[in-house]
A and B are shown apart, each in its own frame.
Chain A
Amino acid sequence: MCGIVGYTGSRKAAPLLLDSLKRLEYRGYDSAGVAIVDKKLRIHKDKGEIDNLRESMPNIPGVYGIAHTRWATHGQPTKDNAHPFADCKGEIAIIHNGIIENYLELKESLIKKGHKFRSETDTETFVHLLEENYTGDLESTFRKVLPMMKGSFAFAAVHSKEKGKIVVARKESPLVLGIGEGENFAASDISALLKETDRVIALHDNEMAVLTPESVEITTFEGKEVTRRPERIKWTVEDAERGGYEHFMLKEIFEQPQAVHNTLLGKVADFDVNRFGRDAFPSIKIVACGTSYHAALAGKYILEDIAKVPTEAQLASEYRYSTAAFGRPLVLLISQSGETTDTLGAAREARRRGRRSLAITNYVGSSITREADDVIYTRAGLEIGVAASKTFLTQLVSLYLLSIQLGLARRTLSFDESRKMKEELRLMPRAVQGVLDEHKKIQKIAKKYHKARDMFFLGRNVNYPIALEGALKMKEISYIHAEGYPAGELKHGPLALVGEKTPIVAVAIKDHTYEKMLGNIKEVSARSSPVIAIASEGDRDIEKYVDDVLYVPDVPAIFTPIPVTVVLQLLAYYAAKERGCSIDKPRHLAKSVTVE
């Protein structure tokens, strides 16, 4: 997973490329580089973040070029392994996002033919292959070489003798084209282009394109012409500025009431699920990765509680190994970016198995929207912080919406019940705001416990996945080792690890799990662990059993994940801030994972 950008036009390419690249930094940032054609091909690369590259960058004129920010998969994050790569003659430069699976054999045969490799990467084989097969025209050379590549890729290349031309190709890695006036762009995603243009064409799998300042020609790998009109993108670049907040993550956490509004907009009154009616499928299988998988796990409880459909959650990377299913389940795919390789793979697998699929995603026009039969958009807006916040919350909201409508369509929910549930759902922006208003209190508690080395997060029922998500947030941004556990499992293992140095965060909402949760709390406090309870507003009783309490607005039990999530996000954020962590760009992590 990496970020790539390309520019061809009449403006100086270097600052434009760096600026766009900076917006892709969330995709990876252990090394970066640019290739610009001036009089000849010039490449500059460096280890570390894009700001490093900017500082060490010499003045390179030239009006077309490509740039890359890397997240290492094959080969260490060093300057040598940074993209772009040039061929032996120094005429062609390429950048790549993805993995070339058969690079070892290709590399061997190229070395035998006398090509000199300068890096350990899989990517470099492609540029030597282009050199070896160069026909005098980059486009036809691409067509010749691409069938030899196995794996996933988004490539962009320039040739110093083919002025103003960028050739790009895509297979299972994201790539979009930006259409300007007398200039054109390519990038891994829309956010890199927003400052320059709002007209965007998404490239599909097995398609390539030739960009010049005046034209964009899209063809399939076989050479069939593709005509596709640009879409107008409503997101503006200001979505990508921090606007007074110290971190994007905090900004995004505070945007959640609005994000939830947008998810609900127009869907509360009517949301068409008739095509998923009563007899269409006996069960649901939710497939996702990472934070989206936690939404999937919560979705299991939500769908079963509200719509009474038997539901199973599964990791996308494991879906292909689980071949037996009850009846023919609806496959529900959740991916924020819509580009997550494992989830896309699962979508294809679902189709092979003849399953109907429904995707929940945030990106209009992303790959998953083409792989799935139907799509629900979360409409959370652009999320820059690597740790998901508003996109997770809006995934939950989408799951509630879906459950209510499914319940109605399958007649497991009466009209009156559904109306009451919708009424509650409509008030969720208030529940989120209610937690945000208490952020100072959460900050105080985070400050108290931020020195912990280990933490446990406990939940039951629908808040068990939320405990998992809380632990994930904590570890990914504050680097505190955190584990989420269903509270009942405590005595089957982790209890051996608790003690006065392991704070326990326990979700103890006033519902039918409350008494049992209190029991679990007593278990850990008996072993002198400090306990932070997340409790329902007005529950004074719990203060007797725990060290600290954070209250959430009193909403019906099934909806408590919404406010509880926000508490856990803020807790992780402020703990990370106290520890001085790089919150928006945690080490070794990137936003959308487009490698397997």
Chain B
Amino acid sequence: MKAVILAAGEGSRLWPFTYSKPKVMIPVANKPILEYVVRSLVAKGMDDIIMVVGYKKERIMTHFEDGRDYGARIDYAVQKKQLGTAHALLAASKMVKGDFVVLPGDNVIDPKVVEDLLSADESPCALITESEIPSKYGVVQIRSGKIADIMEKPEEMIGNLISTGIYRMSSDAFTRIRSHSRKGFHDLTSVVRDLSSSDDVLAVHTSGKWIDAVYPWDILRVNETVLRDIGEEKSGKVEKNVTIKGPVLIGEESLLRSGSYIQGPVVIGRGCEIGPGTVIYPSTSIGDNVRVSANSVVEESVIMSDATVGPGSHISHCVIGEGAFLRSRFSSSSSTATMEVEGDFHKVGDIGSFLGEDVFCEDGVVASPGSIVGAKSRVGAMRVLRGTIPDKSLVV
């Protein structure tokens, strides 16, 4: 049975981290979200994969190539305009026959999720799970094991079972999707909802790990969850007087300089230079070719590849994009903040700041909790960053 992964969307609510890559390629624990989906599928023997790609597709294709590094065979279908999930699935319609599985590429899942879906012996079926905040998702109502209805983002509490967006269906469904598409409905939820009104759509419950990232602060939550399960592996060079506690992964040719203190779970990529005297606290991921200079403190943060953190910086609950350059004494502490994303306001607890790729900060910049800085922005010395700052801004 083939698996179709939907990975064409931009994920604009995760801006600025989608400036040059699709949402599915945002790294958590140094691997793109999409890689967790691929690995879980392969772990359960589903190695014939079609990826529907669109927005910045090259980033996906360059990472996964033809799938052989992941034990899979990956083919690509291109969705030229990103209209919706059902429309995306249609892009792969010529490549599947009979039963297949369709799943979103932007949720981290573990192999148990795939196993649960495969255990159902009927098609079509929809995979459901419990959620603490069902109002963010499509809430399902179930009658005798079948989907009775799906309500998108209900404002009232009508139940806590939500659709994961993972379905098993057969290629017969394409006719249905096409006719829906002609009426202007392009999302898979409305197709399944329509399907459930005439056919039986089995609701399959999963107890596996299913985490999605919708907003920038979700990256930290997903990263923290994934890091709980990392192993321990140390390559690279560790100088004298470095303390390493708990599970810590260090990539090849990385250099940990004297006096640094690393408390796992922490993952550090390849070719990094950390320290001297740098402290890294739990639930931190540091990508490849990153420099964290002398006497900096990093806690519960994601620092993506090629970034530079200058000496004496403090980074708490932050996401720092690829190639960001913080000259020295960058400071971002965490607290509760109200954040605005695409016109909606969210009150988020314990949050630092979010810096897009290639942001350049001169000495002594302070980023207030909840601030978002657009990609390629340049910030002058001693500035205080607040709120949301667009891409390529100049803050002086």
Contact = CB atoms under 8 A, between A and B. Distances in A.
Interface of A: 236-239, 241-245, 251, 254-255, 258, 261, 264-266, 268-269, 423, 426-427, 429-430, 433-434, 436-437, 439
B3 to A, nearest CB: 16
A261 B289 contact: yes
Interface string B41-70: 000000000010100011011101111110
Contacts of B300: none
Contacts of A433: 20, 322-323
Nearest to B271: A265
A265 B270 contact: yes
Given A430-B322, A437-B20, A261 B288 contact: yes
A434 B306 CA distance: 13
A430 B358 contact: yes
A434 B255 contact: no
Contact of A426 (B53, B252, B289): B289
A238 B64 CA distance: 10
Contacts of B51: 244
Nearest to B273: A269
A427 B61 CA distance: 23
Contact of A265 (B67, B76, B253): B253
A423 B289 contact: no
A427 B323 contact: yes
A261 B290 CA distance: 11
B74 interface: yes
Given A243-B61, A243-B64, A261-B289, 5 more contacts: A241-B65, A244-B76, A245-B58, A427-B325, A430-B357
Interface string B258-290: 000000000000110100000000000000110
Nearest to A242: B66
B377 interface: no
B252 A243 contact: no
Contacts of B75: 244
A244 B53 contact: yes
A255 B65 CA distance: 10
Contacts, number: 85
B308 interface: yes
Contact of B306 (A251, A427, A436, A437): A427
A574 B34 CA distance: 29
Contacts of A269: 253, 255, 273
A434 B271 CA distance: 21
A434 B305 CA distance: 14
Nearest to B19: A437
Nearest to B65: A243
Contacts of B358: 430, 434
**Which of the listed residues A236, A429, A430 has the most CB atoms from chain B within 10 Å of its own CB?**
A430
**Which of the listed residues B64, B289, B305, B308 has the most CB atoms from chain A within 10 Å of its own CB?**
B289
Given A243-B74, A266-B252, A430-B322, A238 B61 contact: no
B291 interface: yes
**Which of the listed residues A237, A238, A239, A423 has the most CB atoms from chain B within 10 Å of its own CB?**
A238
A538 to B, nearest CB: 10
A241 B271 contact: no
Given A238-B68, A261-B289, A265-B252, A430 B306 contact: yes
A443 to B, nearest CB: 12
A238 B253 contact: no
B289 A245 contact: no
A193 B357 CA distance: 40
A269 B325 CA distance: 18
A268 B254 CA distance: 11
Contacts of B64: 243
Interface string B66-88: 11110000111000000000000
B61 A426 contact: no
Given A261-B288, A266-B253, A426-B306, A245 B61 contact: yes
**Which of the listed residues B57, B323, B357 has the most CB atoms from chain A within 10 Å of its own CB?**
B323
B271 A261 contact: yes
A240 to B, nearest CB: 9
A243 B60 CA distance: 10
B289 A255 contact: no
B253 A258 contact: no
B322 A244 contact: no
B68 A258 contact: no
13 contacts: A236-B68, A236-B69, A238-B67, A239-B65, A243-B61, A243-B67, A254-B58, A266-B271, A430-B322, A430-B357, A433-B20, A433-B323, A439-B58
A264 B58 contact: no
A242 B65 CA distance: 7
A562 to B, nearest CB: 14
Contacts of A242: 66
Given A243-B61, A255-B62, A264 B289 contact: yes
Interface in B311-337: 322-323, 325
Contacts of A241: 65-66, 68
Contact of B61 (A244, A434, A436): A244
Interface string B177-190: 00000000000000
A429 B58 contact: no
A255 B58 CA distance: 9
B68 A244 contact: no
A266 B273 CA distance: 10
A263 to B, nearest CB: 11
Contacts of A245: 58, 61
B308 A423 contact: yes
**Which of the listed residues B68, B69, B357 has the most CB atoms from chain A within 10 Å of its own CB?**
B68
A423 B322 CA distance: 15
A429 B253 CA distance: 17
Given A261-B271, A265-B252, A429 B62 contact: no
A112 B306 CA distance: 70
B47 to A, nearest CB: 13
A339 B270 CA distance: 31
A64 to B, nearest CB: 28
A191 to B, nearest CB: 14
Contacts of B58: 245, 254, 436, 439
A429 B58 CA distance: 16
A439 B358 CA distance: 18
Contacts of A258: 62
B357 to A, nearest CB: 8
Contacts of B325: 427
A260 to B, nearest CB: 9
